[in-house]
Chains A and B, each alone.
Chain A
Amino acid sequence: MSSENKAQIAVDKFLEFTDGEVASFFEACVHCGECAEACHFYMATEDPKYTPTYKLLPMVKAYKREKAPLRSIRKMFGLLPPAVTEDELREWETLVYDSCTMCGRCTLVCPMGIDIAGTIRKMREGYAAADIVPDGLKRSVDFVKKTGSPMGVTPKALLAQIAHQEKETGIKIEVDKQGADYMAILSSMEIMGFPEIIGAYAKIFKKAGVSWTISTKAYEATNVGVQIGSGPLAKEIVTRVVDAAEELGVKYVISPECGHAYGAIRWAGPNMVGRPFKFEVVHIIELLDQLRRDGRIPAGAKDGRKMTLHDPCQIIRRGGLLKEPRSLLDDSCSDFVEMENAGLGNLCCGGGGGVSANPRAADLQNAAFGCKADQLNAIDGLEAVVVPCANCRTVFEEGLEERDMDHLEVLGLGELVAETLKDIEQAEG
């Protein structure tokens, strides 16, 4: 691919993804700079180049040059921006991949309501098509192509983890069960780093009488296609889940405690596949909350530690599940405190949107996590933080260790719910 070709390929994709929505964003931006004040990368570094709207510049230039209304009149006066070059795209690569977690906090502060995060996601389509992407994400893509998982988790490794959790809990976990009501998918990070979540599902669903299964054909929820910006790959990953779920005849697919996985399958999924699914997608937090409200998983003794909740951006701010985790925490924890700006306005961990899979961005990610650490430090006597996203959880564990804050326990919401179920309390009592 020649240099000119790469730039043209990227520009063609930029234009393909510039629909009326994105164009209205480009036309409405007044360069007020407010978005910088909401971005954890700018807040941590005070470097103006991390201003969210600035990250979009190559795509904005392509739009103004090739697609904007009235561009022919501007052209007559020599007012069109110059063509986007490969050098420019490469210069912007770190802004597009390393310094944006697509957390969407900038939309909250934007007087024009511009969805910069969603536009960065579309801009990455151009970068991925031109193959101007970070090596770390390329490696994840290679793993997905070989094994279906960005961390190379094979069905054999999954079955080993399931067997281990069966032993731990004494509960049989059905695999590839035809006609189950629910099919759970998991992130690689959960399977390899936090496998206890599988045991937690087993305990909770047994208590609730939920018929569920895990497919050995489609167990991976992580959608690296969404992170890198490759529509075809994202579609392939979603299709794998859809095919397996429809083959098993399940009524629901459970999206795990993983941020972007939820958006990828719940909101973007049917649009990628091009048809509605024959099943519903439900987030695990949504399901737990529903089961709790239905009285199927009554809460027992609460965890007495002082806890707070991290709001994973793609689940809360961009996913819409604001109340459910809080409702579950109220039942599971006797000393729950919100951090500053909790809920919609909570800060990102710094590692979402593929940033944590990109070793080049490690220092920047760690700096951005400093804003999160400040939020935690502002709560006196905090003992644990509930992080309902496996990727955020890893970022938390690394970031807290880096700052000698590893006295804080980081735990998943599903595990906490499982540990505080009424039956468990009675068994222990």
Chain B
Amino acid sequence: MTFLQIVEGPLFYFAAAVFVLAAAWRVFGLIRMGRKRDISPPKGSAAAGFVKGNLRHFIPRGMFARRTWIHIIGGYSFHIGLFVLFFFGAFHIDFIKQYLGISWTPLPRWGFILVSEIAFAGLIVLWVRRISDPVMRLISDWDDHIGTWLTFLVMLTGCLALQQSHDVLRGIHMLFVDIWLIYFPFSRLMHAFTFFLSRGHTGATYGRKGMNP
């Protein structure tokens, strides 16, 4: 069995299983902790607040933009870029088709490269801010740095494998993907799944009060 076959075969299956099971366990664990029923008379709907809270926090508030513009630009560039790369990269769509049998229209090659640059720029901005800003230095821990670096390496090796000229480059990319998948559910990368609970809980609390902060 070649290196590529291992990282795309048994190791990938193992990593994907860890990712799915552990991430589901963590999210289910949070939901299972529950929340005491609020018996104060409501002014609005908690359920609507849950949804509104989730949607509202996708959009940064203008009043803070002067103080937070670096984070806004870095955060949006990276997250939107990564989302587009993952779901619209031609090789990713082929890979998904191989396992799930579904596919959709990919980005053209020039689009992939452009979006990659935007995503890289965003991630680098976020990381430089993390190591240079006094607030970020104080609150950051090893998990923040490992998550950033692993994601960076997945993206970098993905770009190196873009030419598909060497199996070994594709293999290295898949190795980092496997490591990333295993690390993900135990790390702060899980915010990709927990954000909706956090926003939703706050949204529900305020929704009962008839407002949407």
Binding site for B on A (CB under 8 A): 18-21, 23-25, 27-34, 36-38, 42, 48-49, 51, 53-54, 67-70, 73-74, 104, 107-115, 118, 266-271, 274-276, 280, 317-320, 322, 341, 344-345
Contacts and interface: CB of A to CB of B under 8 A. Distances in A.
B101 interface: no
A279 B61 CA distance: 38
Contacts of B134: 48
Contact of A51 (B130, B139, B191, B205): B139
Contacts, number: 165
A73 B186 contact: yes
Contacts of A23: 30, 33
Contacts of A49: 138
Contacts of A266: 40
Interface of B: 22, 25-26, 28-36, 38-41, 43, 53-54, 56-57, 60-61, 63-64, 67-68, 71, 75, 130, 133-141, 144, 185-186, 188, 190-191, 194-195, 197-203, 205-206, 208-211, 213
A94 to B, nearest CB: 16
B212 to A, nearest CB: 9
Contacts of B198: 24-25, 27-28, 112-114
A70 B22 contact: yes
Given A19-B33, A51-B135, A109-B64, A30 B188 contact: yes
Contacts of B135: 33, 36, 42, 48, 51
Given A113-B199, A115-B202, 15 more contacts: A19-B33, A19-B34, A20-B30, A30-B191, A32-B75, A37-B68, A48-B138, A48-B139, A51-B135, A69-B28, A108-B63, A110-B57, A266-B40, A275-B39, A318-B209
Q: 5 closest A-B pairs (Cβ-Cβ)? A: A69-B29, A28-B198, A113-B199, A20-B33, A24-B197
A113 B35 contact: no
Contact of A20 (B35, B61, B68, B213): B35
A107 B34 CA distance: 21
B115 to A, nearest CB: 21
Given A27-B30, A69-B29, A70-B29, A345 B61 contact: yes
B57 A112 contact: yes
Nearest to A20: B33
Nearest to B26: A69
B101 to A, nearest CB: 31
B61 A113 contact: no
Nearest to A344: B213
B43 A38 contact: no
Say what secondary structure dominates the interface of chain B.
helix
A341 B57 contact: no
Contact of B209 (A20, A36, A267): A267
B130 to A, nearest CB: 8
A31 B188 CA distance: 9
Given A30-B191, A48-B134, A319-B209, A20 B64 contact: no
A111 B57 contact: yes
Contacts of A27: 26, 30, 190-191, 194, 197-198
Contacts of B203: 113
Most buried by B among A24, A42, A280, A322: A24
Nearest to A341: B63
B39 A20 contact: no
B40 A270 contact: yes
A24 B139 contact: no
Contacts of B133: 33
Contacts of B68: 34, 37, 109
A275 B40 CA distance: 9
- Residue with the greatest number of chain A CB neighbours at <10 A, chosen from B28, B40, B57, B208: B40
B75 A21 contact: no
Contact of B213 (A51, A271, A275, A317): A317
A118 B205 contact: yes
A31 B136 contact: yes
A34 B39 contact: no
Contacts of A33: 71, 133, 135-136, 139
B96 to A, nearest CB: 26
A20 B53 contact: no
Given A31-B140, A70-B22, A108-B213, A269 B71 contact: no
B201 A115 contact: yes
Contacts of B141: 31
Contacts of B28: 69
Nearest to B74: A32
